A and B are shown apart, each in its own frame.
Chain A
């Protein structure tokens, strides 16, 4: 999903910076509140950030014959919401832009939007909807994380398509081209990511269910039910 350094012409790279900035700034504001009022949840924040670090470093082979990586943002979005997760995404993308020449500083706005904002928004929305509808918690987490991963790559394809419309066929033709490169490759990886995040979620329920209740991620009722089922 990384748009490489210099690969977005003006005005697109500026536009994505402008769109991403409010999310990240509000995320930092929320982070400060978390630091002040919910210190007990900070280890969980570290784990969510670490998850983005690990998963986005793993380049996995996919059915299309190319390699891509999961994003790991689903966990942060479910636990802390999309705004705080956008800050986590920014940190990882900065690391990769500076030390790995993966992504770039000029394309940071666009990459933060796809990985740090669009994906987490999808994860957060699906998790909230699924929980409200009473869907099995692990199925909900799986769907939220997998579709967040997929959404990130679809957004990247759209970002490139609008910046580089094909001469024949325009935006839709190039969306098809970039979509094949990114989105199709991503489907199996999204499934793996969803499963792994569901598994981690299970372990968080096992060790610190009280934090999930306090962060309003799960109700005490559903924690009790899940722990009973897993006992």
Chain B
């Protein structure tokens, strides 16, 4: 199977997306006003801790001032990574083709 693994990955992503869509429909139907689903797990853990009365003793030196700026830095992080991966795979591939 030349592309067996690719097929497995594609199938897993489709199943993952389908589960999300079904789950999302169920969650949105039961959501109260002003509530938001699909928050981050990190934040949920922080909520549990804060519910016990704990106050964080240090706050971040710099926080992205808005959701847009935050997504800018997340996209930048992914873009830097993707660039490096694409560059070296392309480089190796081109080199192999040239050699043969």
Choose, from A58-66, A118-126, A127-135, A212-220, the stretch at the interface: A58-66
Closest residue of A by beta carbon distance from B12: A195
A188 engages B70 (CB within 8 Å)? no
Residue B60 at the chain A interface, CB threshold 8 Å: yes
Give the size of the chain B interface in residues (CB under 8 angstroms): 54
A207 engages B20 (CB within 8 Å)? no
Which of A65, A102, A160 is the one whose CB lies under 8 Å from B49? A160
Return B94 CB to nearest CB of chain A, in Å.
10
A4 engages B9 (CB within 8 Å)? no
B60 engages A5 (CB within 8 Å)? yes
- Contact residues, A184-216 vs B (CB, 8 A): 185-186, 188, 191-192, 195-196, 198-200, 202-203, 207-208
B78 engages A54 (CB within 8 Å)? yes
Main secondary structure of the interface of A (DSSP, over half): helix
B57 engages A100 (CB within 8 Å)? no
Residue A57 at the chain B interface, CB threshold 8 Å: yes
Residue B80 at the chain A interface, CB threshold 8 Å: yes
A106 engages B58 (CB within 8 Å)? yes
Interface size class of A (residues with CB under 8 A): 35 or more
A178 engages B45 (CB within 8 Å)? yes
B54 engages A9 (CB within 8 Å)? yes
Bound: A86/B40 CA distance, A: 24
A198 CB contacts on chain B under 8 angstroms? 5, 9
Question: C-beta contact mask, A99-121 vs B, less than 8 Å → 1, else 0?
Answer: 11111111000000000000000
Chain B residues within 8 Å of A, Cβ to Cβ: 2, 5-6, 8-9, 12-13, 16, 19-20, 23-24, 27, 37-46, 48-49, 52, 54, 56-64, 70, 73-75, 77-78, 80-85, 88-89, 91-93, 96
Q: List 8 A-B contacts (CB under 8 A).
A: A4-B56, A7-B49, A50-B84, A57-B78, A95-B77, A106-B57, A174-B48, A199-B6
| Further 15 A-B residue pairs, CB within 8 A, beyond A53-B80, A102-B42 | A6-B58, A7-B54, A47-B85, A49-B81, A50-B82, A50-B84, A53-B77, A66-B39, A66-B40, A68-B40, A164-B48, A181-B44, A195-B9, A199-B5, A207-B92
Nearest first, the 4 A-B pairs at minimum CB distance are A6-B56, A53-B81, A54-B81, A6-B58
